[in-house]
């Protein structure tokens, strides 16, 4: 484990961005070695007691559902009203209980353009999730219509509907007698990523702070801060970790992603100081060269003070 992580851990009590969440430092034997596989006939994977995920082909996205007594909470609402209605129908095959609460993990359209179809549910998000969506929602709609023709028609009827219950940095919600914790751990994939922890099932939903089976998206990222944010997340892992896209992971998956994020920041710093030229920097990145340009340039922009 890199030295930086140890120093974060030793200063955790004083500086944790999420004092409201009990830090979990269980012994190694409580860490699962394999991810549970328990699929029911409705196509949902039960990753913990009444905590489900469904993996959609579009963007290889993971959607989460937490079921309590008499109600359910949904984590992210997909990319369009049509996709949201499909999700609602899929949830209806999973539980008879109504979805009374939604969590938007961040303001990217594929995580919340389905919000409006879940009303009158309460929609939770970081306060910048709301403000950014209000500021850039129409821009996102136009961009999606142009780049994803399959969604263009569906987005004509889209009502951009941001979270109405915001928080910073953390809050606790109750879902039919179950406690669910929401926390912003710092900038990373965006400036408003929140994680969702279900303590009684030891499940952590990471949003797009973690993506599996593909290079994470850096277009709105803060690559210099992403490693520390995932470092805090790692401290909260006590079971399966559900990324925003791709396969469900575990602690080792988070550690691998953290090593990659550390490498991105380190390479960018070496390029910024002139220790590496651009070709050498691209070759030293943890991703393939064509996927490394955006992360590197975004990190450079941060080093130049252009993103603050």
User: Which residues bind to Zn ion, rule: CB under 5 A?
Assistant: 108, 208
Q: By CB neighbour count within 10 A (0-12 exposed, 13-18 middle, 19+ buried), where does 197 fall?
A: buried
Write down the least CB distance from residue 215 to Zn ion, Å.
13
Q: How far apart are CA 134 and CA 157, in angstroms?
A: 17
Nearest alpha-carbon partner for 58 in 32, 26, 82: 82
Write down the least CB distance from residue 220 to Zn ion, Å.
7
Write down the least CB distance from residue 26 to Zn ion, Å.
29
Pick between residue 61 and residue 95 the one whose CB is nearest to Zn ion: 61
Pick between residue 52 and residue 107 the one whose CB is nearest to Zn ion: 107
How far is CA 36 from its chain centroid?
20
Write down the least CB distance from residue 107 to Zn ion, Å.
8
Residues 6+ apart with CB under 8 A from 83: 56, 58, 113, 114, 154
Pick between residue 188 and residue 286 the one whose CB is nearest to Zn ion: 188
Nearest alpha-carbon partner for 256 in 294, 216, 197: 216
Pick between residue 131 and residue 172 the one whose CB is nearest to Zn ion: 131
Pick between residue 91 and residue 194 the one whose CB is nearest to Zn ion: 194
Residues 6+ apart with CB under 8 A from 304: 272
Write down the least CB distance from residue 84 to Zn ion, Å.
17
């Amino acid at each position: 484990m890199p030295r930086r992580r140890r120093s974060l851990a030793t200063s955790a009590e004083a500086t944790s961005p999420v004092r409201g969440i009990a830090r979990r430092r269980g012994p190694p034997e409580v860490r699962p070695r394999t991810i549970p596989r328990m699929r029911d006939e409705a196509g949902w994977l039960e990753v913990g007691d009444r905590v489900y995920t469904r993996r959609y082909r579009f963007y290889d996205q993971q959607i989460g559902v937490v079921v309590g007594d008499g109600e359910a909470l949904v984590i992210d609402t997909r990319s369009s009203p049509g996709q949201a209605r499909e999700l609602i129908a899929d949830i209806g095959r999973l539980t008879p209980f109504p979805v009374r609460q939604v969590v938007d993990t961040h303001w990217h359209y594929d995580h919340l353009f389905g919000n409006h179809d879940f009303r009158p549910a309460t929609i939770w998000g970081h306060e910048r999730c709301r403000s950014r969506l209000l500021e850039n929602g129409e821009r996102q709609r136009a961009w999606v219509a142009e780049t994803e023709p399959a969604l263009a028609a569906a987005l004509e009827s889209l009502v951009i509907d941001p979270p109405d219950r915001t928080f910073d940095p953390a809050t606790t919600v109750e879902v039919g007698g179950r406690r669910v914790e929401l926390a912003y751990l710092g900038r990373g994939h965006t400036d408003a990523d929140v994680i969702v922890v279900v303590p009684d099932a030891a499940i952590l939903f990471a949003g797009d702070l973690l993506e599996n089976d593909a290079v994470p998206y850096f277009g709105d990222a803060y690559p210099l801060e992403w490693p520390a944010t995932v470092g805090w997340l790692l401290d909260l892992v006590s079971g399966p970790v559900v990324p925003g896209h791709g396969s469900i992971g575990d602690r080792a998956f988070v550690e691998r992603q953290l090593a990659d994020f550390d490498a991105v920041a380190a390479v960018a710093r070496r390029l910024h100081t002139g220790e590496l030229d651009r070709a050498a920097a691209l070759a030293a990145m943890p991703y393939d060269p064509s996927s490394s340009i955006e992360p590197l340039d975004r990190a450079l922009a941060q080093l130049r003070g252009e993103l603050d």
